[in-house]
């Protein structure tokens, strides 16, 4: 059994064949699916999917690229839904910062404010966090520690192999490993994988993005978590069934699902 802890099933690229996508995954042993909240404009679609399929769950949150939707998002409307298992994906992303130095600093400040607001919501509603970090490791780590995010814990989605973030394993955080692990240029992630405690590993796709080998370049889907699990098994020299069991138990524990 595998749990895909980060799959954007609400993306329009799954609209035409969602039943088939889920059926292929289930046949391969993928038994739970978590849709992260990223863009408030697709949140209703995520809820609709989670309500339709017993094995699909969702999170409510705002990605750094979709900050304009934060003020208008009524978290209260979603967090009490029994299928809502987390707050996020939220976090910091400095990769696309543009403009003058002053404009970039203002953008960082706003991202931080919205990230902290979602950390506080997670603590208020006792939900774990799904955290997106890109080119912002130090600031993200500081905010998580300063704002006592360890009270609820969470997952560092699409973990970018930054050594600085490894200590968050001691702060109640898990590490989401996806298709990047199979890429030929993923040496940094390959080298750091063994440093992550096995009881803090999760498997994800981030579909429709970051499709693993040998399907790189195609639309990603939950079925392909099997390639991630296989690669993880090889690199950690651990039986595949053990990897599946460990990561599944980790996901069930973090997201409080059965």
Domains (range + CATH), the chain: 2-255 (3.20.20.140)
> pLDDT tens across 204-215, in order?
999 999 999 999
> pLDDT tens across 44-91, in order?
999 999 999 999 999 999 999 999 999 999 999 999 999 999 999 999
Burial class (CB in 10 A: 0-12, 13-18, 19+), 53: middle
CA distance 50 to 63: 20
CA distance 106 to 110: 6
Torsion sign (Cα): 119, 125, 126, 132: negative
> pLDDT tens across 149-184, in order?
999 999 999 998 888 899 999 999 999 999 999 999
Question: What single DSSP character describes residue 84?
Answer: E
CA distance 83 to 69: 22
Model-level pTM? 0.97
Q: Is 214 helix (H, G, I), strand (E, B) or coil?
A: coil
Mean pLDDT, rounded, of the chain: 96
* Both structure tokens of 106: 């203002």
């Amino acid at each position: 059994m595998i749990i895909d802890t980060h799959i954007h099933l609400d993306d329009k690229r799954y609209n035409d064949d969602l039943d088939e996508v889920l059926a292929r995954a289930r046949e391969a042993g993928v038994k739970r699916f978590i849709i992260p909240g990223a863009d408030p404009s697709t949140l209703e679609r995520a809820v609709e999917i989670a309500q339709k399929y017993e094995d699909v769950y969702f999170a409510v949150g705002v990605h750094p690229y979709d900050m304009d939707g934060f003020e208008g998002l009524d978290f209260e409307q979603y967090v009490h839904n029994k299928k809502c298992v987390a707050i996020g994906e939220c976090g910091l992303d400095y990769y696309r910062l543009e403009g003058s130095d002053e404009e970039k600093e203002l953008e960082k400040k706003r991202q931080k404010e919205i990230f902290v607001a979602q950390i506080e919501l997670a603590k208020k509603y006792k939900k774990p966090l799904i955290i997106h970090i890109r080119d912002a490791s130090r600031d993200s780590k500081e905010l998580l520690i300063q704002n006592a995010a360890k009270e609820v814990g969470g997952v560092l989605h699409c973990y970018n192999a930054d050594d600085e973030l490894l200590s968050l394993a001691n702060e109640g955080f898990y590490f989401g490993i996806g298709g990047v692990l199979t890429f030929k240029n993923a040496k940094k992630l390959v080298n750091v994988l063994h440093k992550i405690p096995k009881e803090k590993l999760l498997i994800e796709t981030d579909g429709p993005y970051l499709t693993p080998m040998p399907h790189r370049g195609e639309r990603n889907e939950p079925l392909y978590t099997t390639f991630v699990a296989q690669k993880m098994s090889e690199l950690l020299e651990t039986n595949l069934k053990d990897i599946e069991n460990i990561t599944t138990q980790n996901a069930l524990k973090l997201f409080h699902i059965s």
